C-alpha cells in the first residue's frame, strides 16, 4: 500500500511517501528564511510559497521513493488545525490529485500526524498510552485509551512550549526557531545558576504555563545573568514541567507508555529526562519530529488499515479542530 502525505498547515511544505508502513521519501521545503524578517509566519506569504513549490516537491518525493503517480493507493493531506490559507493549498491539491487519479482521499488531523510520526519506529505500540505534544503551537497532554480516542488531560494556558523557546531565544538575541539555539547555548551554561522556578509546580491538574518564563528571562537579562546560564536554567524548568506533569499523569491513569511528539521532542535535555523517568517512552525518529508529510501519510495509512473509508471530497480545512472531535 503506497500513501502520499501532504502537510501545509503552517510554514513548511511537507511531502512524504509511505509504502507498507515504511517511509520511502520525506521532503520538507522550509520557509523559515522567508518569514524570518517579520518575526513570525505571514500566512499569505506561506500560502503563496506552498502553492509555488508543492507540485515540484510531490514529483521529487515520488522519484525518491521510486514510485509513479499510478502506483499510489491513497492520497492524504492535513485538514487542520492550522492556518486556513496554507491548509487549503495542500488540501485542495491532494483532493484534486486523488479525484484525478480515482483514488481515495483522507484528511488528517495535524496532531494525529505528529503521534503517528513518533510511532514510526515503534511498530508494536498500540493504545492505551499517554501522548504529550509539545510544538510551536501546541502543548497538549492526552490519554489515548484506544485508536482514535483522545481524552484531553491538560494543555498550556498561554504559550506553547516551543513558542516559549522561540520567545526566550529572541530575548537572548538568538535566531528562529529558538529551540535548537537555546539548546546549543544551554550546553555551555549552568542550569542551576539562574533562579527560574518550575511553572505550575504543586498545582492540581495537568495544565502547563510558559509565558511567565519569558517575562522572567527578560528580567534575568536585565539583572546581568549570563545568556548561557539563562538558556540552561530556562531549559531546565521547561523540561521539569513537561516531564513532571507526565509522571503525575502516568501515576494517576496507570499508563506506563508515553508518546512524546512535536518539534520540542527534538530537545536533548528533554530526551535525557524522559529516559531517566522510568516511563516507557517513544519519540519520533530524526526527520519525523518537525512538521513533515510522512507523518501525515503514516496517520492516514493507520486509519485506513482500521477503517478503510475515504473522506468525501467536500471536506474542507479546519483551522480550529480539537483532537478527537469530528471535523
Please state, in angstroms and rounded to a whole number, the distance separating the CA atoms of residues 324 and 236. 32
Site mask for ligand KG4 (CB under 6 A), range 277-316, x = bound: -------------xx-------------------------
- Choose which of 166, 229, 301, 311 interacts with ligand KG4 (CB under 6 A): 166
Check residue 179 for interaction with ligand KG4 (CB under 6 A): yes
Check residue 264 for interaction with ligand KG4 (CB under 6 A): yes
**DSSP SS3 for 282:** strand
Check residue 117 for interaction with ligand KG4 (CB under 6 A): no
Q: Which stretch binds ligand KG4 (CB under 6 A): 56-64, 139-147, 158-166, 294-302?
A: 158-166
Shortest Å distance, C-beta 281 to ligand KG4: 16
Closest CA to 185 of 176, 174, 193: 174
Among ligand KG4, Zn ion, none, the one that 180 touches (CB under a kind-dependent 5 to 8 A) is ligand KG4
Check residue 49 for interaction with ligand KG4 (CB under 6 A): no
Pick between residue 29 and residue 250 the one whose CB is nearest to Zn ion. 29
Residues of this chain that bind Zn ion (CB under 5 A): 135, 291
The answer to whether 112 and 97 are in contact (CB under 8 A) is no
**Residues in Cβ contact with 175 at an 8 Å cutoff, skipping those fewer than 6 apart:** 36, 169, 181
**Neighbour tally for 75: CB within 10 Å:** 27
Shortest Å distance, C-beta 140 to ligand KG4: 11
Kindly report the backbone phi and psi dihedral angles of residue 293, in degrees, each rounded to the nearest multiple of 5, phi listed first.
-85, -30
Amino acid at each position: 500500500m503506497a500513501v502520499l502525505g501532504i502537510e501545509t498547515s503552517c510554514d513548511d511544505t511537507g511531502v512524504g511517501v509511505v509504502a507498507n508502513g515504511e517511509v520511502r521519501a520525506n521532503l520538507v521545503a522550509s520557509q523559515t528564511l522567508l518569514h524570518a524578517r517579520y518575526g513570525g509566519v505571514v500566512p499569505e506569504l506561506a500560502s503563496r510559497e506552498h502553492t509555488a513549490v508543492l507540485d515540484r516537491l510531490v514529483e521529487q518525493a515520488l522519484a525518491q521513493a521510486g514510485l509513479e503517480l499510478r502506483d499510489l493507493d491513497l492520497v492524504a493531506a492535513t485538514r487542520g488545525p492550522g492556518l486556513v490559507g496554507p491548509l487549503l493549498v495542500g488540501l485542495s491539491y491532494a483532493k484534486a490529485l486523488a479525484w484525478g487519479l480515482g483514488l481515495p482521499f483522507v484528511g488528517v488531523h495535524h496532531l494525529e500526524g505528529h503521534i503517528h510520526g513518533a510511532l514510526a519506529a515503534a511498530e508494536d505500540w498500540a493504545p492505551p498510552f499517554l501522548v504529550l505534544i509539545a510544538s510551536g503551537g501546541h502543548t497538549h497532554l492526552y490519554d489515548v485509551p484506544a485508536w482514535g480516542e483522545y481524552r484531553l488531560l491538560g494543555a498550556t494556558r498561554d504559550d506553547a512550549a516551543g513558542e516559549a523557546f522561540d520567545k526566550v531565544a529572541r530575548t537572548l538575541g538568538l535566531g528562529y526557531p529558538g529551540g535548537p539555539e537555546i539548546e546549543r547555548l544551554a550546553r555551555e551554561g549552568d542550569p542551576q545558576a539562574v533562579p527560574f522556578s518550575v511553572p505550575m509546580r504543586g498545582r492540581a491538574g495537568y495544565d502547563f504555563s510558559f509565558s511567565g518564563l519569558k517575562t522572567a528571562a527578560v528580567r534575568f537579562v536585565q539583572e546581568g545573568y549570563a545568556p548561557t546560564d539563562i538558556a540552561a536554567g530556562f531549559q531546565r524548568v521547561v523540561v521539569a514541567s513537561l516531564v513532571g506533569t507526565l509522571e503525575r499523569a502516568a501515576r494517576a491513569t496507570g499508563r506506563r507508555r508515553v508518546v512524546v511528539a512535536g518539534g520540542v521532542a527534538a530537545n536533548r535535555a528533554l530526551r535525557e529526562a524522559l529516559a531517566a523517568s522510568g516511563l516507557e517512552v517513544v519519540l519520533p525518529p530524526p526527520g519525523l519530529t518537525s512538521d513533515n508529510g510522512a507523518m501525515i501519510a503514516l496517520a492516514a495509512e493507520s486509519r485506513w488499515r482500521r477503517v478503510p473509508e475515504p473522506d468525501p471530497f467536500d471536506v474542507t480545512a479546519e483551522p480550529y479542530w480539537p483532537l478527537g472531535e469530528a471535523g
